[in-house]
Structure 1
Amino acid sequence: MDQRSLEAAAKSGNIDLLYELIHEDPYVLNKIDNVPFVDTPLHVAAVAGQIEFAMEVMNLKPSFARKLNADGLSPLHLAVDHSHFWLVLEIVKVDPSLVRLKGRHGMTPLLFAVSRKNIDVISEFFLVCPESIVDANVNGENALHIAVKNDDQREGVVVKVLMGWILRLCQKDAERTETRVINRRDKDGNTALHLAASENNRQAMKLMLESSKINVNIENKNVLTVVDIAALHNNREMERKVKRHGGKRAVSLVGLKTTSELLGSQLTWKESRRTRKIRFFSSISEERRNALLVVVALIITAIYLSDRSPASRRRF
């Protein structure tokens, strides 16, 4: 009876009924929480779009927000799936990390939103949880892979939003993040660029090639580069475009070392010097690093000004 009454309260958004049931049995929510995979009142409210009720339950039982139901979905997944935009916003206000919660097939709410082409939700997720851009599902597919597979080729709105975010990243590890996302390989070794070439998605390819961090010569598990795939589809225009960005056929990529060969090779003087520099800058505090950069900038400015002074010009 409690379960059915709770479900009815969640569907209708009846908060008074919720507390009546808690009065009758203070452990009513705990009993639900003890079940590993279950539709909690928060799940039911998420489907129904009952914002106030959902927030009340989330306040009483925060663990419900991370619980997956028998379909492997969290309340946030369900709110995205049912297009309850304002409920989605309220949930992530309370806990932004829920954007990265993995459900069925390793799909996060962000990846779910990308597959549903919900650009408003995608944009909000990036604002509250920017690190979610690196997440991938169990097949190794990140947001770009999923967008290329599901987006409309003519408009390419989702890919536009994703690349617009990636190219505007400004945080400390922005370049590394861009490199990780744009060159991520799925279970078949395909990057999003491979998929775009396979589907003749020119718009997506054009957008991704704007990234200076893109590696156009990655080989998939079939030992095919993007140029190879374009050639297989007899797409000369796309083949020429990728070649202009340094793209090559797989047979042309000779002499490249594997990771094991690289690690087993002798450390060069340049590599040793670079490693020491990186370790030094990594070990110092942010304040000291900024101070060093200011000093370097002042020295360069002083040298530049001295070179432009009348006295320095008379010497030549």
Structure 2
Amino acid sequence: MNERLSEAAQKGSVDSLLQLLQEDPLILDRTIVSCISETPLHTSAMLGHTAFVREVLGRKPGFASELDSQGCSPLHLAAAKCHLEIVHELLLAAPEMGTVRNFDGRTALHVAAIKGRVGVVTELVRVKPELTRVLTDRGETVLHLCVKHNRLEVLKLLEEPMKRNSELVNWKDCDGNNVLHIAVAKKQIEIIKFLLTINGLEVNALNANGFTVLDSLIQSPRDLKDMEIEDSIRAAGGLSVKELHLITSDWAPAKVPQINERLSSTESRSKKPAVKHQGIDWLGRQRSALMVVASLIATVAFQAGLTPPGGVWQDDYQVDSNGNPVSDPHTVGTSVLAYKGPFEYGLFMIFNTLAFLSSLSIILLAVSGLPMKRRRWMWVQMVIMWIAISAQVVTYFLTLRRMSPRNFEVQATLRDVTQISVLTWLSLMAVVFIGNIVRMNIWILRKYGYIKQKESHPSAAIDDDQEEF
């Protein structure tokens, strides 16, 4: 009888069900009290047999409250398969089942949102609006699940509940992330733009790690979408944690001036470590930037040394087919340019080696462990970097010249490009050099008292060059 009932549920045959009930009027009751994991209602609800579901619910409404081996009610299964009419019938029979969570900690609304079942979500929220406030085992709302699984259409259906209840849109999961944190972490641009239109959304909320959404973007792997996401967040008033602290300190109530001069001098001395800290932070950032650029130049120069313009010979050519010595012999693995243009090859190797060794010297100084924490050492490394970059530029044009055909038009174009590029590069180098000379002179004049130092916020210490040179 149980097998016949299971077959009837799979086929959705109401006639077979009625025939079984005539043979055994208690067959449905026996199914409820038995240890069967799935009831006929589970099967018919999952397969979308609406008439069969109505017949079972009309006779035994308690079937709607039964759970299978995964803790799922028939409502879970119907919602997952988007059987809208069955969802409606199940809600009428047992509306309390909307809040029941399965063994994954999810309600029928959660399942429908994950699957992107727009119609089911609409029906569930219409019948029981409070379902949007039910959480998963991880403290997630239905909004979190929509964002996690990139269900923008479902999320738009929940716009009204979000607008009515700001607590819902700002709810944080067990990791302290609200829906905007998750959308930013997953780089979902369309969802981010939609969420930023919701009034009451806290753009600068902190998660369990103390990060705002902008910090989460900065900490995440870089992506082509990052710039657009950052612009959208900042346009909505999003800030990083550091920027929030600066704003807080700017709006902090001013302290009452101390009459006692000794206390005032103590306060002024206490500001110096903050300035020094800012200078050290600047030096650290500069060293990191130099390390990155030096590593890139060293890699390029190393690769260029191994594969010079024109490549290397792929064979030995010492004698001809008759065994006689040839006039232009070459050896496998040696540079073609060294044989065809020894002068150009010499220039190429000189400037490429200069770029390679200059960049390696910066890396060596950075990892040497020597106490180079003053600006004078940073200047030395910056000058070496200028040399490395300039040598790399010369190497590029030497390579370009060698690879270009001896055509008049091509050579004329190459000559014009080279002249304009070199002139632009020299102008830029001159601007950088003059700018640094001016900064050094200002520092010297301030040090010896010819220029009075401005009293400024510690964060302006870098611009004023108040660190020891």
Go from structure 1 to structure 2 and tell me whether the alpha carbon gap of 1:252 and 1:31 turns closer, same or farther (over 3 Å shift).
Answer: farther
The structural deviation recorded for 1:23 is 4.2
Q: Is the 8 A contact 2:61 2:93 kept in 1?
A: no
- Matched with 2:54 is 55
Letter in 1 for 2:91: V
* Structure 2 residue 6 is matched with structure 1 residue 7: yes
* Structure 2 residue 203 is matched with structure 1 residue 203: no
Identity across matched positions, percent: 31
SS of 2:158 mapped into structure 1: helix
Q: Distance in 1 between matches of 2:36 and 2:75?
A: 15
Q: Which has the larger Rg?
A: 2
* Structure 2 residue 219 is matched with structure 1 residue 220: no
* Structure 2 residue 171 is matched with structure 1 residue 184: yes
TM-score computed with the length of structure 1 as normaliser = 0.68
Aligned residues: 242
The 5 Å alignment of 1:287-302 reads none
Letter in 1 for 2:180: L
The structural deviation recorded for 1:228 is 0.4
Q: Distance in 2 between matches of 1:4 and 1:104?
A: 27
Q: Distance in 1 between matches of 2:101 and 2:36?
A: 14
SS of 2:71 mapped into structure 1: coil
Letter in 1 for 2:135: A
The structural deviation recorded for 1:164 is 5.0
Q: Distance in 2 between matches of 1:148 and 1:232?
A: 19
- Matched with 1:84 is 83
SS of 1:104 mapped into structure 2: coil
Letter in 2 for 1:189: G
The structural deviation recorded for 1:132 is 1.2
The structural deviation recorded for 1:251 is 4.1
Q: Is the 8 A contact 2:65 2:97 kept in 1?
A: yes
User: For structure 1, which segment, 48-57 or 98-107, has the greater mean C-alpha deviation from structure 2 after superposition?
Assistant: 98-107
Unaligned runs of 5+ in 2: 247-469
Q: Is the 8 A contact 1:145 1:192 kept in 2?
A: yes
SS of 1:39 mapped into structure 2: coil
- Matched with 2:218 is 231
Go from structure 1 to structure 2 and tell me whether the alpha carbon gap of 1:35 and 1:215 turns closer, same or farther (over 3 Å shift).
Answer: farther
Of 222, 233, 239, 1:242 maps to 233
Q: Is the 8 A contact 1:100 1:135 kept in 2?
A: yes
- Matched with 2:66 is 67
Letter in 2 for 1:28: I
Letter in 2 for 1:185: K
The superposition leaves residues 105-150 of structure 1 with CA deviations (integer Å, 9 ceiling, x where unpaired) of 1211111111111112211222111111112211222221111121
Q: Is the 8 A contact 1:126 1:132 kept in 2?
A: yes
- Matched with 1:269 is none
SS of 2:197 mapped into structure 1: coil
- Matched with 2:162 is 166
Q: Is the 8 A contact 1:163 1:208 kept in 2?
A: no
The superposition leaves residues 149-193 of structure 1 with CA deviations (integer Å, 9 ceiling, x where unpaired) of 2126xxx322222225533xxxxxx3xxx2222112122221110
The structural deviation recorded for 1:98 is 3.2
The structural deviation recorded for 1:36 is 6.5
Q: Is the 8 A contact 1:163 1:207 kept in 2?
A: no
Q: Say which structure, 1 or 2, has more relative contact order (CA 8 Å, 6+ apart).
A: 1
Q: Distance in 1 between matches of 2:132 and 2:198?
A: 15
- Matched with 2:124 is 125
- Matched with 1:304 is none
Q: Is the 8 A contact 1:151 1:158 kept in 2?
A: no
Letter in 2 for 1:162: L
Q: Distance in 2 between matches of 1:218 and 1:42?
A: 45
Q: Distance in 2 between matches of 1:50 and 1:8?
A: 13
